[in-house]
Amino acid sequence: MFYHIDCKRTMSLFLDCKSSGNHDFVQASEQAFRTKKGNGHLYHGNQLDQNTPMISQLKEQMEQLERKLLEKDIQMQGIEASTRQAVLLQFRAREEEFKEQISRKEMEIEKILNRMSGTQHEVEGLRQLLEKAESDVEASNMNVLELQKESHNLQCQVAASLLWMESIASQLDNELADEELDKLIGNSDPATVNGRGGGIWTLEALVDDMSTELSRRKYLASLIAAKRNPTVEMLLLAAELRDQLKASVLQSGRKNT
């Protein structure tokens, strides 16, 4: 009876046992096997029946080694599976961490965009306010120009009126008597003043307001009195009445406009 044994597997087991320190198996193998060439078979000694216990022992040791190899394979597979599982879990943890970081960055970007949008609205509101302010300034400038024109016209009217009354005062200086001066100051109803040659000057032709007319009369009388008696008091009175008349004419002009 011949036993066919895989030479490569036997040699691998022999080397594994030798490297692992299984000296019993190595000694048994060296004593039991004697290699003879013949048709690719390995033969034991001449008496196979005598070597049967040794062969059984070898078979048992081979089975033990195979079981150990199987256990090692199972352990290696378990280790590989555990390693793969650990690597997979680590990878998933890193993936979740990256997702959280991306989510936080997206939230920060969204906040920045919202702030930028609010800033743009504020800038737009400020721009509209600036345009309105510029429009108001332009309108105010137009009003100022109009008021300046009106003021200039009123000042021209006042200057013309004052010059006209001063010319009247110079004409009346030598001819008006004291009683005529008293009548001119005290009487507020008549609108005329008698002068040289019986001429008549109508004061209502320039200003219709009675207070303005009275101011004119008082100023005219003060000019006449100051020319007759140029004292400090009379000059101050004439200057004061001149300011009153100017203010009255300006106020009347504003009312008329």
User: 175-182 contacts: CB < 8 A, separation 24 or more?
Assistant: 176/224, 181/221, 181/224, 181/225
Indicate the pLDDT class of residue 43, thresholds 50, 70 and 90.
Answer: very low
Q: Are residues 250 and 159 in the same domain?
A: yes
Q: Are residues 160 and 73 in the same domain?
A: no
Q: Are residues 79 and 153 in the same domain?
A: no
pLDDT over 90 (residue 102): yes
User: 228-252 pLDDT, tens per residue?
Assistant: 888 888 888 888 888 888 877 777 6
**Domain-located, residue 171:** yes
Instruction: Tell me the HSE value of 80 on the side-chain side, using a 13 A CA sphere.
Output: 6
- The boundaries of the domain holding residue 186 are 148-256
User: 159-170 pLDDT, tens per residue?
Assistant: 666 666 665 555
β-bridge mates for residue 200, sequence order:
194
Indicate the pLDDT class of residue 107, thresholds 50, 70 and 90.
Answer: very high
- Letter string b/e over residues 220-245, b meaning 16 or more CB atoms within 10 A of that residue's CB: bbbbbbbeeeeeeebeebbeebbebb
User: 171-194 pLDDT, tens per residue?
Assistant: 554 444 444 444 444 543 444 333
Proportion of the chain above pLDDT 70, given as a percent:
56
Query: What's the pLDDT at 165?
Result: 63
Domain boundary residue among 84, 100, 115?
84
Indicate the pLDDT class of residue 35, thresholds 50, 70 and 90.
Answer: very low
Q: What is the mean pLDDT of residues 118-146?
A: 87
Q: What is the mean pLDDT of residues 138-163?
A: 76
Q: Distance between CA atoms of 61 and 161, rounded to whole angstroms?
A: 146
Domain boundary residue among 53, 84, 115?
84
Number of domains observed in the structure of the chain:
2
**Domain-located, residue 64:** yes
Q: What is the mean pLDDT of residues 51-66?
A: 86
Q: Distance between CA atoms of 122 and 209, rounded to whole angstroms?
A: 54
Q: Which of 139, 110, 220, 224 is nearest to 178 (CA)?
A: 224
Query: What's the pLDDT at 6?
Result: 46
Query: What's the pLDDT at 170?
Result: 56
**Domain-located, residue 240:** yes
Domain boundary residue among 40, 68, 84?
84
Q: Are residues 79 and 175 in the same domain?
A: no
CA angle, corner 158, sides to 152 and 162, nearest 5?
Answer: 145
Q: Are residues 155 and 80 in the same domain?
A: no
